[in-house]
């Protein structure tokens, strides 16, 4: 049976935890706002680039690019984007679960590359480990990430792997994200969409230099932009998930403090009652 002193200590330490979790919640909320801002400001570029590529490749006939060709190769590179820090709810574990599920289902020979250390720590031992990427700051910049992308594209170009995929948490809202595996290379162009675009642009553009040359530079560009968008999604999802986790922790702390205070007060009341009874019965016995 806990005594009052123990309970007081416990309440004090829970209050400490409450302070930490509420501070972390506030920090995550601020970071989430920033990450969301980053997503909204990079989306127009990514979308515009994608439409442009689709339009050009729909209008230009007989164009092929290395990145568009399906290769008959059973090797695959999978880049897993996770966080460097924990305490963010199911963010890393659900991504790890998704990667495991994907690896169990695929019939390809997959080598796994990592950004962020948390998922790597969970699954490194059970997968074919490729490489771990580290950056100066916690979140890589566009240029740093482009370097990673180039390395993976190199594997694809040299024929070492037939596909490049990325596993990340897609950001839906502040409290929800979806772990998913997305194909980066070869870049797939939808046939239906192509026909739609051909109908939409009955005229052709004037190109300078040749359209094929423009596509040659644009296709690697979309590849890196897609990768960057995935990373931004991952970062936003991480902060959102941490904010939700810390919000739960704050609620739980408050509940625990309430329950413990109640228990402590009951004990205190019981002690006072016992003391009173002792005093009263002592006085009674003197009178009697």
Partner 1 sequence: MNYFTVDLLTPEKVVAKDIPAESLLIPTVRGQINILPHHTHLINRLSTGVLSIFGGADDPDRHFSVTYGICKVLEDKVIIMSHTSEEKSEISADRAEQALETAERRLNSGEALSDSEIEKFQRKAERARLRIQLSKQ
Nearer to partner 1, 14 or 229 (CB): 229
What's the DSSP call for residue 107?
-
Nearer to partner 1, 74 or 141 (CB): 141
Q: Are 49 and 221 in contact (CB under 8 A)?
A: yes
Going across the sheet that includes 176-185, the strands are: 129-133, 109-115, 75-81, 163-173, 176-185
Nearer to partner 1, 63 or 207 (CB): 207
Total Cβ atoms within 10 A of residue 80: 27
3-state secondary structure at position 65: coil
CB of 205 to partner 1, least distance (A): 5
| Interacting residues toward partner 1 by CB under 8 A | 38, 41-42, 44-46, 48-49, 52, 56, 142, 203-209, 211, 213-214, 217-218, 225, 228
Q: Are 163 and 69 in contact (CB under 8 A)?
A: no
CB of 27 to partner 1, least distance (A): 22
Nearer to partner 1, 88 or 218 (CB): 218
Nearer to partner 1, 109 or 213 (CB): 213
CB of 221 to partner 1, least distance (A): 8
CB of 249 to partner 1, least distance (A): 33
Q: Which residues contact 237 (CB under 8 A, 6 or more apart)?
A: 91, 168, 169, 170, 171, 177
């Amino acid at each position: 049976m806990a005594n009052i002193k123990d309970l007081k200590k416990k309440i004090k330490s829970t209050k400490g935890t409450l302070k930490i979790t509420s501070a972390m919640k506030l920090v995550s909320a601020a970071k989430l706002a920033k990450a969301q801002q980053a997503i909204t400001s990079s989306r127009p570029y990514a979308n515009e680039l994608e439409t442009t590529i689709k339009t050009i490749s729909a209008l230009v006939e007989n164009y092929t690019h290395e990145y568009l060709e399906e290769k008959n190769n059973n090797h695959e590179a999978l880049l897993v984007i996770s966080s460097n820090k924990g305490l963010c709810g199911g963010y890393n574990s659900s991504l790890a679960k998704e990667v495991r599920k994907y690896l169990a289902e695929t019939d390809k020979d997959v080598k796994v590359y990592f950004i962020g250390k948390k998922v790597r720590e969970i699954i490194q031992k059970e997968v074919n480990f490729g490489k771990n990427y580290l950056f100066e700051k916690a979140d890589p910049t566009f240029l740093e990430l482009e370097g990673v992308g180039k390395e993976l594209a190199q594997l694809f170009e040299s024929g070492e792997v037939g596909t490049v995929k990325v596993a990340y948490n897609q950001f839906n809202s502040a409290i929800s994200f979806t772990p998913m595996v997305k194909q980066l290379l070869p870049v797939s162009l939808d046939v239906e969409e192509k026909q739609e675009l051909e109908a939409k642009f009955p005229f052709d553009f004037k190109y300078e230099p040749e359209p094929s040359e423009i596509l040659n530079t644009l296709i690697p560009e979309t590849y890196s932009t897609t990768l960057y968008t995935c990373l931004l999604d991952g970062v936003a999802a991480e902060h959102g998930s941490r904010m939700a986790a810390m919000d739960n922790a704050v609620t739980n702390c408050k509940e625990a403090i309430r329950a413990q205070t109640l228990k402590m007060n009951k004990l205190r009341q019981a002690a006072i009652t016992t003391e009173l009874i002792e005093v009263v019965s002592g006085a009674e016995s003197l009178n009697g």
